[in-house]
A and B are shown apart, each in its own frame.
Chain A
Amino acid sequence: MSEHSNGSADVVPAAGAQGGLEQQFPDPGLPAHVHRRTDIDTAAARRAERTVARLFLLSIAGTALFVVAWFLFPVNGKLSNVATSRLLMGIGLGLALFCIGIGAVYWAKKLMPDVEVVEDRHPIASTPEEREGALAVLREGGEATGFGRRKMIWASLSGALGALALPAIIPLKDLWIRDPQAKQPAALLSTTMWTGGTRIVKDPTLEPVKATDIELGAVVHVLPEGIDKVEDPLDEKAKSAVLLIRLEPSEVGPAPKGQEDWSYNGIYAYSKICTHMGCPVALYEQQTHNLLCPCHQSTFDVTQHCKVVFGPAARPLPQLAITVDADGYLVAKQGFTEPVGPSFWERG
């Protein structure tokens, strides 16, 4: 083994490297070839041949099943046909393919020569002469271009190739900013449709919500009114979705400073967008008053103003200040006072 090395191994005074009859068991060489039944018994070989042929014929049957299923089960609005067609076509195709495969492998194993062949390996690396030759070619080529002498050419070419990076990069700018008036990402991530007086409407019916319609313990999924009129409703929904929850005021802990009057009559409004990775916090456990995000199990306690009680979210769900308008419909008192959703560098 050692004579075939291109380098040394300084941690390897191994049995293999030391060699010697005393030190290592000798390689007895390839074992003698043992004939298979099909090599010596022509009847067995013929049986194997028939098995292979049978498998290939079975493959044709599979293909036939595929074709027949294609014609017998048109997909004309019947879902049961879709299911049957998929099942039969799949089984037909699977059979057709698998039988060709297993037939070919069986053929190779039983009937093709099974004598192992030895091929020599040669060191991967080139000989020193070859290496020297390659280097000489490189050197000559380098000299022919005048790499060392013609500095002006090389400097200007480097400059030209470097400048080509600009046409490669600049058009990428328009991946987003086609509109020169566009706001910075941080500004867009920090604002939502909600402002003072925005009416609260139900998701997905978009009906306004009367404060008196919300029963104790109920959770209502809501959106800002007019969300269906904006240019990209989904972009806005990804920020503006809100949950209304009506709680027994005695169950709720003291409000953070300055947020004492953000709820109305025991109705609290919290952003539905998880502060961890932006999934909608859609599961509400009535018993524990916990909101749970199904994506990564961040758990928010609504009786503690959506403080994180478990999971990877780092911040409570932002609260939306609400009140009612003259007709008794719930409206936002003001927009969110902090960005909703997942964190980003400039969030503050």
Chain B
Amino acid sequence: MSTAARAAGTVGTWADERLGIGKVAKKGLRKVFPDHWSFMLGEISLYSFIILLLSGTFLTFWYKPSTVEVLYNGSYVPLRGLQLSQAYVSTLELSFDVRGGLLMRQIHHWAALIFVAAMTVHMLRVFFTGAFRKPREINWVIGSILVLLGIIEGFAGYSLPDDLLSGTGLRIAEAIIQAIPVVGSWLAFFVFGGAFPGQDFIPRLYTIHVLLLPGIFLALITVHLILVVYHKHTQYPGPGRTNRNVVGYPLMPVYIAKAGGFFFMVFGVIALISAIATINPIWMYGAYTPTQVTAGSQPDWYMGFLDGAVRTMPNWESRFWGITIPWNILTPAVIMPGIITTLMILYPWIEAWITGDRREHHVLDRPRNAPTRTGLGVMALTFYGVLWANGGNDVIAETFHLSINAITWTARIALFVAPPIAFVITKRICLALQRRDREKVLHGRETGIVMRTPDGEFYEVHEPVSPAEAYVLTQHDTYRPLALEADVDENGVPNPKSRSQKFRARLTNFYFGDAIEPPTPREVRELEAAHSGGEH
């Protein structure tokens, strides 16, 4: 045994006698994780969070959360000699007078954009594959909260430099708080320590950004990951992959190398992007003042849908009995996000209630095999996309020389018309793909080989699919709609089923009314029998 191995053994024994890590390690190190590219989306989220912690810590060494005005005397000549807020000045110094500071700022900002994007796409993957089903509903909720907090944390972060763009964002945030019925003005004054912008908000936001929210993130991410390990990862359907096992590579050594390596790859790519692509050049925006704004102001991408919602909303406001209810702010910025978030968080229970399915699911759905769910997901994405696009209505108008009024009106109409169309198209595509799978199993794969019979008839040779493929294409459950029962039976006795159950029956019809059953071996045999009867 080498000296190094002996030393490691000594340390291991020392730790095991105090922590009992041997027992944990023996099981934990052989933990199996299935392999699929889409499982790396969650990893990207986790790694960009770690990168945010590392780069953010560096930034805190120089950034000063204060709006007290100081004289700027740094390297950036256009702003030299001006009285600027300390938050802005320290961000300028971080960018121009600290070696590596600008790179770190760029890494932090890019990592934040990628963090929210990766979480969002990860969530879509979980939705479209049905990974949120029992027993993983709690992790769906935790994940939803993480995405929402990620958006808030990102907004808090880019508001800290106190530049013109972020100050404008805060002005809008203040107007949203102020619009809340009854308590809005009080709430805004409590949050900002008085009138906007005041002196208190930036220091408060700083504590929330670097302490409170990261603490909550760490706690939630820990629980999220513990549950992933505890539940064991879901897997895509495949031969040998069942609801009772998990097939993949062990943590030690394959996943330590792959996942560990992937962390370095994510970090490396973010560093390279940050080296060449400048984002949030606060020195060009100037310091915040409530009397100025730049044309074409755009928030970070994840705030775009909210800004777009505000831009899409007509100018409705109610004024009566000495009170004002600004629907033009409340509807897009409070009510709509509230409804969407609630539906998103509750979706696992909504679907479970409709299907009545109380079983554990560890094998993922292929999205085509859940056509209504997939359709609803694309519908929600389309709704989001219309809002997001209209968030840049001024930029679109400018770039393509279009009328901003026309774009906004298009968005208003598209917001209601496009999602249902997207739903129908998606569902039809899913059903068509299911039919194709059915065809493939029943008639085999087209080989491209055309044969001629002695009678002169031409036909294409179809090759039967492999048993493995036949299994993958047919292994899924088919849900059938509940029978719609009459309100009264033939004797006039009212149906005892509650109204909610009738509603549920109607929903199962919406979900599964046009379900396509996967083919069975019997069907294949019957077809073969018919074929061997001499026909083609």
Q: Quick check: A283 and B271 within 8 Å, CB to CB?
A: no
1/0 contact string of A1-26 vs chain B (CB within 8 Å):
11011111111111111000111111
Answer whether residue B171 sits at the interface, using C-beta atoms and an 8 A cutoff.
yes
1/0 contact string of B491-521 vs chain A (CB within 8 Å):
0000000000000000010001000011011
Answer whether residue B246 sits at the interface, using C-beta atoms and an 8 A cutoff.
yes
Choose the segment among B148-156, B260-268, B453-461 that binds chain A (4+ C-beta atoms closer than 8 Å).
Answer: B260-268
Q: Quick check: A4 and B244 within 8 Å, CB to CB?
A: yes
Question: Which residues of chain A (219-258) have a CB below 8 Å from chain B?
Answer: 221, 223, 232, 234-235, 237-239, 241
Answer whether residue A278 sits at the interface, using C-beta atoms and an 8 A cutoff.
yes
A251 CB, min distance to chain B CBs, angstroms: 22
Given contacts A105-B265, A235-B196, A313-B328, contact A344 B185 (CB under 8 A): yes
1/0 contact string of B39-60 vs chain A (CB within 8 Å):
0000000000000000000000
Q: Quick check: A343 and B290 within 8 Å, CB to CB?
A: no
Residues of the B chain whose Cβ atoms lie less than 8 Å from the Cβ of A116: 247-249
Q: Quick check: A98 and B268 within 8 Å, CB to CB?
A: yes
A182→B114 CA distance, assembly (Å): 44
Q: Name the contact of A90 in the complex, choosing from B262, B271, B326 (C-beta under 8 A).
A: B271
A315→B324 CA distance, assembly (Å): 12
Q: Name the contact of B358 in the complex, choosing from A7, A93, A98, A308 (C-beta under 8 A).
A: A7
Choose the segment among B95-103, B207-215, B381-389, B416-424 that binds chain A (4+ C-beta atoms closer than 8 Å).
Answer: B95-103
B286 CB, min distance to chain A CBs, angstroms: 12
Q: Name the contact of A297 in the complex, choosing from B75, B102, B311 (C-beta under 8 A).
A: B311
Given contacts A277-B329, A280-B290, A297-B404, contact A232 B198 (CB under 8 A): yes
Residue in A30, A93, A109, A184 with the greatest tally of chain B CB atoms within 10 Å: A93
Q: Name the contact of A185 in the complex, choosing from B185, B270, B479 (C-beta under 8 A).
A: B185
Size category of the A interface is 35 or more
Given contacts A105-B261, A238-B171, A294-B295, contact A94 B245 (CB under 8 A): no
Residues of the B chain whose Cβ atoms lie less than 8 Å from the Cβ of A305: none
Answer whether residue B532 sits at the interface, using C-beta atoms and an 8 A cutoff.
no
Question: Which residues of chain B (87-129) have a CB below 8 Å from chain A?
Answer: 95-103, 106-107
Q: Quick check: B196 and A278 within 8 Å, CB to CB?
A: yes
Residues of the B chain whose Cβ atoms lie less than 8 Å from the Cβ of A78: 75
A193 CB, min distance to chain B CBs, angstroms: 12
Answer whether residue B224 sits at the interface, using C-beta atoms and an 8 A cutoff.
no
Nearest neighbor of B135 in chain A, beta-carbon distance: A124
A343→B325 CA distance, assembly (Å): 8
Q: Quick check: A101 and B275 within 8 Å, CB to CB?
A: no
Given contacts A86-B103, A121-B246, A312-B328, contact A12 B477 (CB under 8 A): yes
Given contacts A101-B262, A175-B193, contact A121 B245 (CB under 8 A): yes
Residues of the A chain whose Cβ atoms lie less than 8 Å from the Cβ of B240: 27-31, 118
Choose the segment among A69-77, A136-144, A154-162 that binds chain B (4+ C-beta atoms closer than 8 Å).
Answer: A69-77
1/0 contact string of A95-125 vs chain B (CB within 8 Å):
1111111111101110011101111110110
Answer whether residue B366 sits at the interface, using C-beta atoms and an 8 A cutoff.
no
Q: Name the contact of B290 in the complex, choosing from A2, A96, A172, A237 (C-beta under 8 A).
A: A237
A278→B177 CA distance, assembly (Å): 12
Q: Name the contact of A27 in the complex, choosing from B239, B477, B520 (C-beta under 8 A).
A: B239
A34→B117 CA distance, assembly (Å): 37
A79→B75 CA distance, assembly (Å): 7
Question: Which residues of chain B (297-335) have a CB below 8 Å from chain A?
Answer: 297, 307, 310-311, 313-317, 319, 322-326, 328-329
Given contacts A203-B291, A342-B179, contact A75 B32 (CB under 8 A): no
B194 CB, min distance to chain A CBs, angstroms: 6
Q: Quick check: B481 and A90 within 8 Å, CB to CB?
A: no
Q: Name the contact of A294 in the complex, choosing from B232, B290, B296, B477 (C-beta under 8 A).
A: B296
Q: Quick check: A86 and B290 within 8 Å, CB to CB?
A: no
A179→B441 CA distance, assembly (Å): 78
Nearest neighbor of A62 in chain B, beta-carbon distance: B268
Residues of the A chain whose Cβ atoms lie less than 8 Å from the Cβ of B254: 108, 112-114
B58 CB, min distance to chain A CBs, angstroms: 12
Answer whether residue A296 sits at the interface, using C-beta atoms and an 8 A cutoff.
yes
Residues of the B chain whose Cβ atoms lie less than 8 Å from the Cβ of A88: 275
Answer whether residue A89 sits at the interface, using C-beta atoms and an 8 A cutoff.
yes
Answer whether residue B336 sits at the interface, using C-beta atoms and an 8 A cutoff.
no
Q: Name the contact of A312 in the complex, choosing from B102, B197, B249, B313 (C-beta under 8 A).
A: B313
Nearest neighbor of B297 in chain A, beta-carbon distance: A294
With A272-B291, A277-B175, A280-B293 given, can you name 7 additional A-B contacts, CB distance below 8 Å?
A4-B359, A25-B520, A112-B253, A121-B362, A315-B317, A341-B175, A344-B178
The 3 closest A-B CB pairs, nearest first, are A90-B275, A7-B358, A98-B268
Task: Offer 5 A-B interface pairs, CB within 8 angstroms, sorted by A.
Answer: A14-B478, A86-B100, A237-B289, A279-B172, A345-B184
